[in-house]
Amino acid sequence: MTNRWIFPALGTLVIAVSILGQYWWASVAVLVLFGRLCFLKEPLVVIVTMMIGGFFYCWINNFVNANQLELQQVQQQTGQSVTTQLTVWVDEYDVDGNVVKLIAQLPSTDTKLVINARIVEAKIQKQLQRATGQVTLTVKGRLQALDAATNPGQFDSRQFYALQKINATLSKAEVIAVTQPPTSQSINGWIHQARQNVLQYFEALPPALRYYGETLILGYIRADFYQANQGIRELGLLHLFSISGFQVTMLISLLTCFFGKLRVPTAITAVLILSILPLYYVFSGSIPSLIRAIIIGMLAQGLILLKWRVSALDTWSLSLLGGVFFEPGILGMLGGQLSYLLALALIFMRGLKFWQEIVMMNLVTLPVLLYTTYQTHLLAFLANFIFIPVFTHLIVPLTTLGVITYPIVPPVARGIDYLIAQLSSLITWLSKLPGNIIFGQFNWALALAATGLTFYLMQHFKSRRGWVGLLSLYAIGFIGLKIPLHGTVAFVDVGQGDSIVIQTPYRREVTLIDTGGRLALPVEHQWQQRSKQAKSNAEMFLVPYLMQQGIANIQQIILTHADADHAGDVEVLLKTFRVHYLYVGQGMESMLKYQQLALKYHVQLVGIHTGQQLPQLPLQVLWPKIPGQGKNEDSVVTRGKFGRLTFLFMGDLDRANELCIPAVQIKNTDVIKLGHHGSKTSSGAQFLETVQPQVAIISAGRDNRYHHPHEETLMTLAQTKIPYFSTARDGMIKYEWSLVGDRWSKMKSE
> Which string of DSSP letters, residue by residue, matches 271-333?
HHHHHHHHHHHHHTT--GGGHHHHHHHHHHHHHHHHT----HHHHHHHHHHHHHHH-TTGGGS
H/E segment holding residue 612: none
Q: According to the model, what pLDDT value does residue 83 have?
A: 92
- Contacts from 527-533 at CB under 8 Å and sequence distance 24+? 527/97, 527/98, 527/122, 527/125, 528/97, 528/98, 529/97, 530/96, 530/97, 530/98, 530/99, 531/96, 531/97, 532/96, 532/223, 532/224, 532/227, 533/227
Q: According to the model, what pLDDT value does residue 661 have?
A: 94
Tens of pLDDT, residues 716-744: 999 999 999 999 999 999 999 999 999 99
| 510 Rama class: left (phi>0) / alpha (psi -120 to 50) / beta | beta
Q: What is the mean pLDDT of residues 143-164?
A: 93
Tens of pLDDT, residues 644-684: 999 999 999 999 999 999 999 999 899 999 999 999 999 99
- Which are the contacts of 294, defined by CB distance < 8 A and separation ≥ 6? 245, 248, 277, 278, 280, 281
Task: Determine the angle formed by the axes of helices 464-482 and 444-459, rounding to 10 degrees.
Answer: 160
Percentage of the chain exceeding pLDDT 70: 97
Closest to 601 (Cα-Cα) out of 556, 571, 557: 571
Backbone torsions φ then ψ of 708, nearest 5 degrees:
-75, 145
Start-to-end CA distance of the chain, whole Å, equals 48
Q: According to the model, what pLDDT value does residue 727 have?
A: 96
- Which are the contacts of 513, defined by CB distance < 8 A and separation ≥ 6? 498, 499, 500, 502, 557, 558, 560, 638, 649
Q: What is the DSSP letter of 378?
A: T
H/E segment holding residue 253: helix 246-261
Q: According to the model, what pLDDT value does residue 749 have?
A: 55
- By CB atoms closer than 10 A (0-12, 13-18, 19+), residue 480 is middle
Decide if pLDDT at 22 tops 60: yes
Tens of pLDDT, residues 84-97: 999 999 888 999 99
C-beta atoms surrounding 518 within 10 Å: 20
Render the burial of 424-461: b for 16+ CB within 10 Å, e for the rest: beebbebbeeeebebbbbbbeebbbbbbebbbbbbeeb
Q: What is the mean pLDDT of residues 208-217?
A: 87
Q: How far apart are CA 393 and CA 398, in angstroms?
A: 9
Q: What is the mean pLDDT of residues 21-43?
A: 80
Confidence class of residue 199 from pLDDT cuts 50, 70 and 90?
confident
- By CB atoms closer than 10 A (0-12, 13-18, 19+), residue 70 is buried
H/E segment holding residue 437: strand 436-438
Q: What is the mean pLDDT of residues 154-171?
A: 93
Residue 700 near residue 708, CB atoms below 8 Å = yes
Query: Sign of the CA dihedral 717, 721, 727, 733?
Result: negative
Q: According to the model, what pLDDT value does residue 612 have?
A: 79
Q: What is the DSSP letter of 694?
A: S
Q: According to the model, what pLDDT value does residue 193 have?
A: 86
- Which are the contacts of 593, defined by CB distance < 8 A and separation ≥ 6? none
Decide if pLDDT at 177 tops 80: yes
Percentage of the chain exceeding pLDDT 90: 68
- Which are the contacts of 258, defined by CB distance < 8 A and separation ≥ 6? none
Rounded (to 5) percent helix, strand, coil in the chain:
50, 15, 30
Q: What is the mean pLDDT of residues 128-156?
A: 92
Cα-to-chain-centroid distance, residue 239: 16
Which stretch of 16-25, 201-210, 324-333, 652-661 has the lowest confidence by average pLDDT?
A: 16-25
Confidence class of residue 474 from pLDDT cuts 50, 70 and 90?
very high
Q: How far apart are CA 618 and CA 638, in angstroms?
A: 10
Tens of pLDDT, residues 541-593: 999 999 999 999 999 999 999 999 999 999 999 999 999 999 999 999 999 99
Q: According to the model, what pLDDT value does residue 223 have?
A: 64
Question: Which ranges constitute the DSSP H helices of 77-147?
Answer: 122-130
* DSSP state string for 453-497: HHHHHHH-TT-HHHHHHHHHHHHHHHHHHHS-SSEEEEE---SSS
Closest to 473 (Cα-Cα) out of 485, 490, 494, 457: 457
Decide if pLDDT at 224 tops 70: no
Residue 746 near residue 720, CB atoms below 8 Å = no
Which one of 172-186, 207-221, 528-542, 719-733 scores highest in mean pLDDT? 719-733
Q: How far apart are CA 619 and CA 74, in angstroms?
A: 45
E-assigned strands of 120-260?
134-145, 168-179
Please state, rounded to an integer, the average pLDDT across all residues of the chain. 91
Confidence class of residue 620 from pLDDT cuts 50, 70 and 90?
very high
Q: According to the model, what pLDDT value does residue 725 have?
A: 96
Q: According to the model, what pLDDT value does residue 593 have?
A: 95
Confidence class of residue 526 from pLDDT cuts 50, 70 and 90?
confident
Tens of pLDDT, residues 338-349: 889 999 999 999
